[in-house]
Structures are given as structure tokens and as C-alpha cells.
């Protein structure tokens, strides 16, 4: 039993030493790796295309809102006339 305990303690020490070496190696690697800077890339052609499409969609929404308003107005007028006939 004593031998087993000593063997486990030895394995523990070896594992601890190995882990410390790995941590030190990772620190050195992290220090030597150059930092990579992200540089934003602007695709002006795509941006222009998206802006144009956005303007078209805004125009379409505005047109549809106007048609909805007109339809609601006609519906109210028709409903009023229908009620008067009854």
C-alpha cells in the first residue's frame, strides 16, 4: 500500500512538472505570436447597390402605405353609403 501511494505521488509530481512546462511554453508562444489587426474592408460597389435597393424599398413601402390609406378611405365611404341605404 505504501508503494502504491509513493507511486501515485511520483506520478502526481511528474504530471505537475509536465503541466508547468506546458504552461510556460504556452506563455512564451503567446508572447512571441504577432498580433493580427483586423482591417475593415469596404466594398463600395456593394454598399451602393444596397443603398439603391434600400431606396427602392422605401419608395415601395411609401406607395403601399398610400394605397392602403386610399383603400381604407374608400371602404369607410362605401360602408357609410351602405348603412345609409339600410
Question: Taking all residues of the chain, what is their mean pLDDT, rounded to a whole number?
Answer: 90
More confident residue, 10 or 40: 10
Helix (H) or strand (E) holding 35: none
Helix (H) or strand (E) holding 55: helix 44-85
- Per-residue confidence (pLDDT) for residue 3, from 0 to 100: 87
**Residue 35 grid cell:** 498580433
- Per-residue confidence (pLDDT) for residue 37, from 0 to 100: 79
In the chain, where are the structural domains located?
2-85
Backbone angles phi, psi at 35, to 5 degrees: -75, 140
**pLDDT exceeds cutoff 80 at 44:** yes
Backbone angles phi, psi at 36, to 5 degrees: -100, 125
**Residue 18 grid cell:** 509536465
Segment 5-23, tens digit of pLDDT: 889 999 999 999 999 999 9
Above pLDDT 90, what percent of the chain? 64
Amino acid at each position: 500500500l505504501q508503494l502504491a501511494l509513493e507511486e501515485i505521488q511520483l506520478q502526481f509530481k511528474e504530471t505537475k512538472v509536465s503541466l508547468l512546462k506546458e504552461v510556460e511554453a504556452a506563455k512564451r508562444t503567446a508572447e512571441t505570436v504577432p498580433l493580427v489587426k483586423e482591417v475593415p474592408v469596404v466594398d463600395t460597389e456593394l454598399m451602393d447597390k444596397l443603398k439603391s435597393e434600400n431606396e427602392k424599398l422605401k419608395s415601395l413601402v411609401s406607395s403601399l402605405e398610400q394605397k392602403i390609406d386610399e383603400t381604407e378611405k374608400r371602404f369607410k365611404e362605401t360602408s357609410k353609403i351602405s348603412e345609409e341605404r339600410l
